[in-house]
Amino acid sequence: MNLGTRGSQLALVQARMVAALLDERTGTSCHEIIIKTSGDRLSEAHLSEIGGKRLFVKEIEDALLAGEIDLAVHSSKDMPAVLPDGLAIGAVLPREDPRDAVVLPGSASPVSLETMIKTLGNAPRIGTSSVRRTAQLTRLFPRARFAPIRGNLDTRMRKLDSGDYDALVLAAAGLNRLQHGHRVSATLPIDACVPAPGQGIIAVEIRRDDERTRRLVGTIDDRSAAAALHAERALVEQLGGGCQMPIGAYARIVDDAIHIVGVVISLDGSRVVRAEASGPISDATAAGIATAQRLLGEGADAILAEARTGASAVEGLQP
């Protein structure tokens, strides 16, 4: 089977995890095909300037639709809430740590959030390209200067250690998968910084009508992670949000029930709307929709409209 993936360190690690599981459980061998996406070609541009994270999956999805590959492996948080016609998520792997992590220069022992805030001082320079992280962290670090940072993990770490930033905020899952978990100085509690929908979940995308591939990847599907992802993606779809919107969502499974929390926050962190819902794991999508409706009822639509206007203004300033 032909497996499509980006060529970044993290993407290759994740693709090989999927390939190894398919080989172990079905005896199926995967031929790795690296596809360079628009997001990879524009590696130094700010995401809001180049169209958001969809650019990290478009070319791979085009290859999947064209039959050039049989399955694609993505970080699920990079995928749009609504997939192109003819494509579906066929499986997901067990979820890694979904939280955001703070990384300080050099090696440091993990500390509490309170100690982290004291360590960074009044006006730290924090590297992150996520509007969701920036909006939430502004409430923790009111005087912080947030600056976009792109490139692979090694590049980001070099910029941090050379003094360009006082801290980076990255997904704990990516750091762990790349064997850099020792660099995590603090993980941010869900209550303080609700993760991106799908953060920590590897998704396998397939053609909807490819029953053979669906059966094969079904052998590696994790029921709990899949339910959480369905709930979180349903929330985003109901809100009409995208990758570069200040939306956080996190669903967890307890026994046969799913509990989801969602947050929509203004770009400057001054307004936040939060909602929760629960339901049976068999109807995870309904829990995500219910949470989104509660967010909208509390005024999330106005916050998102302002965020979209701000994003459009940034795009309009580009040469």
pLDDT tens track for 267-307: 899 999 999 999 999 999 999 999 999 999 999 999 999 88
**75 pLDDT higher than 70:** yes
pLDDT score recorded for residue 90 = 98
Asked if 119 and 220 count as a contact pair (C-beta separation under 8 A), the reply is no
Asked if 169 and 129 count as a contact pair (C-beta separation under 8 A), the reply is no
Give the lowest-confidence range in 13-22, 51-60, 178-187.
51-60
Give the lowest-confidence range in 11-20, 135-144, 181-190, 236-245.
236-245
Give the lowest-confidence range in 42-56, 120-134, 228-242, 288-302.
42-56
| Residue type, position 256, single letter | D
- The per-residue pLDDT of the chain, averaged, comes to 90
Phi, psi of 147 (to 5 degrees): -130, 140
Higher-confidence residue of 92 and 120: namely: 92
Nearest to 93 by CA among 71, 75, 69, 70: 75
Q: What percent of the chain stands above pLDDT 90?
A: 75
Kind and range of the H or E run holding 125: strand 125-127
Nearest to 289 by CA among 318, 260, 255, 252: 260
pLDDT band of residue 113 (cuts 50, 70, 90) is confident
Which domains are seen in the chain, by residue range?
1-93+201-221 (3.40.190.10), 100-187 (3.40.190.10), 223-319 (3.30.160.40)
pLDDT score recorded for residue 252 = 97
Phi, psi of 185 (to 5 degrees): -90, -30
Higher-confidence residue of 51 and 226: namely: 226
Question: What sign does the CA torsion over 145, 166, 135, 50 have?
Answer: positive
Asked if 61 and 205 count as a contact pair (C-beta separation under 8 A), the reply is yes
**99 pLDDT higher than 50:** yes
Q: Among all chains, which residue has been given the structure tokens 């740590």?
A: 97
* Cβ neighbourhood burial of 111 (10 Å; 0-12, 13-18, 19+): middle
Catalytic residue among 23, 70, 78, 222: 78
**For this structure, is 209 an active site residue?**
no
**12 pLDDT higher than 90:** yes
pLDDT score recorded for residue 311 = 53
Tell me the per-residue pLDDT of 207-253, one tens digit each, with 9 for 90 and over.
Answer: 999 999 999 999 999 999 999 999 999 999 999 876 578 999 999 99
Higher-confidence residue of 119 and 214: namely: 214
pLDDT score recorded for residue 313 = 42
**144 pLDDT higher than 70:** yes
Asked if 77 and 196 count as a contact pair (C-beta separation under 8 A), the reply is yes
Distance separating alpha carbons of residues 93 and 84, to the nearest angstrom: 22
pLDDT score recorded for residue 13 = 97
**39 pLDDT higher than 90:** no
pLDDT band of residue 317 (cuts 50, 70, 90) is very low
The model scores a pTM over 0.85 = yes
pLDDT score recorded for residue 310 = 64
Nearest to 168 by CA among 127, 115, 114: 127
* Cβ neighbourhood burial of 119 (10 Å; 0-12, 13-18, 19+): middle
